[in-house]
């Protein structure tokens, strides 16, 4: 896989050593067990896969190269480059300005940008309307488009199955940048609707089976279906694609459910399902899959708590928290600064985004066992900083530098 030139401030000697050792020992990526960092009184288990993915490293490299290569030029980002506060703050400190917030609310009017400005498209991609507006202004985004290749893969797959007459069901958070972009691209080719979760999927299935009155659809799914969507015919032949940062298992369950609804309603067999249901399993992002599988495997380890590191508005990170919470006390933090001392930290609720002080988060036992992972937009340097903060509370038997040597 391509190696990217990511600023050293995001790298970690410890995490790089760990990841390199795991790559050499497990070239086929079949071992999803965590890596033990044994400091004696505190033992840390790192997930097999975590941190920057291909799409994030690609976006960061393009963004920082653009800044270096265009001194004196105004550089804008459509919205956050990725969902990590450290990276976005670094870009702003270097003069990059955000045109919109995460939810598409305008911060700087589009009217103020000109053909002489540079506009970076974030890793989530953007809508066709915004692309066309920028092109009409004479702004060429091709060189500065950091859209993740795996997001583009979803768009391409949507186009491909649309050509075969399928409508598209997008599994995604309706307000998320990536979902808005995927909806835009899919709906330019075929009828498209967005579902957020299984409960909404079950309701959508009732329109397929005729259990619910068709006219109710337009109220229930208001703002989440394409222009001209005809509920009486546009769900007769469908394919399911996803916002790539969703739980892969959730997308699969949604797809399987709708498949069974269609199979039963149209009295199909497995052999002729393709007449009305497209196979879109190849749109699941490898990094999302790997990180989530690694967490599931990590949770089989006997431990006292889990810490998940990443931006609070990061979808993929929130899902890692969701997985961890099923088995252990889990604390969602975006930096080592959230750990006040060995008795207190400030954690984020992944559902509400509320932050609260947690007391006595570290149990009084020996050794303390902690599981750690991070989101796909979280720099490894932040993970190392958290580890350093945690071990500073204990009389450890070895320091990080000694541990790094052991992985060499």
By annotation, the residues acting in catalysis are 178
Our measurement of the distance from residue 351's CA atom to the centroid of its chain's CA atoms, rounded to an integer in Å, reads 15
| Residue 99 near residue 144 (C-beta atoms within 8 A) | no
User: Three-state SS for 387?
Assistant: helix
In the structure encoding, which two tokens stand for residue 222, read together?
């208001």
Residue ranges of alpha helices (H) inside 192-348 are 198-209, 214-220, 248-265, 286-298, 315-325
Count of H helices and E strands in the chain? 13, 14
CB neighbour burial string for 215-245, b if at least 16 within 10 angstroms, e if fewer: eebeeebeebbbeebebeebbbbbbbbbbbb
d(CA 94, CA 195): 38
- Kindly report the number of other CB atoms within 10 A of residue 297's CB atom: 16
Based on the number of CB atoms within 10 Å of its own CB, is 133 exposed (0-12), middle (13-18) or buried (19 or more)?
middle
- HEC secondary structure over 73-96: CCEEECCCCCCCHHHHHHHHHCCC
Encoded tokens for 240: 């399911």
**In sequence order, which residues have a C-beta less than 8 Å from that of residue 178 and are 6 or more positions away?**
124, 125, 151, 172, 243, 244, 245, 315
Whether residue 234 contacts residue 191, with contact meaning beta carbons closer than 8 Å, is answered with: yes
Three-state DSSP at 212 gives coil
């Amino acid at each position: 896989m391509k190696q990217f030139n990511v600023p050293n401030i995001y790298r970690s000697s410890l995490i790089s050593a760990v990841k390199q050792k795991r790559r050499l020992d497990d070239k086929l990526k079949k071992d999803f067990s965590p890596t033990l960092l044994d400091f004696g009184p505190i033992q840390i288990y790192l997930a097999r896969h975590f941190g920057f993915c291909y799409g994030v490293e690609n976006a960061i490299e393009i963004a920082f190269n653009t800044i270096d290569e265009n001194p004196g030029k105004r550089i804008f980002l459509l919205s956050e480059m990725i969902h990590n506060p450290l990276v976005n703050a670094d870009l702003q400190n270097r003069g990059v300005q955000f045109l919109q917030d995460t939810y598409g609310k305008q911060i700087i009017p589009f009217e103020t940008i000109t053909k002489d400005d540079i506009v970076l498209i974030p890793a989530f991609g953007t809508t066709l309307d915004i692309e066309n507006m920028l092109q009409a202004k004479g702004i060429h985004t091709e060189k500065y488009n950091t859209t993740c290749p795996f997001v583009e893969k979803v768009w391409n797959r949507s186009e491909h199955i649309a050509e075969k007459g399928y409508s598209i069901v997008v599994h995604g958070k309706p307000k998320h940048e990536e979902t808005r972009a995927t909806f835009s691209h899919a709906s330019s080719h075929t009828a498209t609707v967005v579902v957020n979760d299984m409960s909404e999927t079950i309701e959508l299935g009732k329109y397929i089976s005729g259990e619910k009155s068709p006219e109710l659809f337009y109220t229930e799914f208001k703002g989440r279906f394409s222009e001209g969507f005809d509920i009486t015919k546009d769900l007769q032949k469908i394919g399911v694609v996803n916002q790539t940062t969703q739980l892969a298992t959730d997308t699969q369950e949604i797809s399987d459910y709708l498949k069974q609804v269609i199979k039963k309603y149209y009295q199909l067999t497995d052999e002729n399902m393709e007449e009305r249901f497209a196979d879109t399993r190849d749109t699941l992002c490898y990094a999302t899959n790997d990180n989530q599988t690694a967490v599931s495997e990590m949770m089989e380890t006997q431990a006292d708590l889990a810490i998940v590191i990443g931006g609070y508005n990061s979808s993929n990170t929130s899902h890692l928290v969701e997985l961890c919470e099923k088995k252990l006390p889990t604390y969602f933090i975006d930096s080592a600064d959230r750990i006040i001392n060995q008795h207190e930290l400030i954690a984020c609720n992944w559902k509400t985004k509320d932050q609260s002080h947690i007391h006595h988060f570290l149990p009084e036992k020996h050794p303390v066992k902690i599981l750690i992972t991070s989101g796909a937009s979280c720099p490894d340097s932040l993970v190392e900083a958290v580890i350093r903060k945690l071990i500073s509370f204990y009389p450890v038997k070895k320091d990080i530098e000694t541990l790094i040597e052991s992985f060499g």
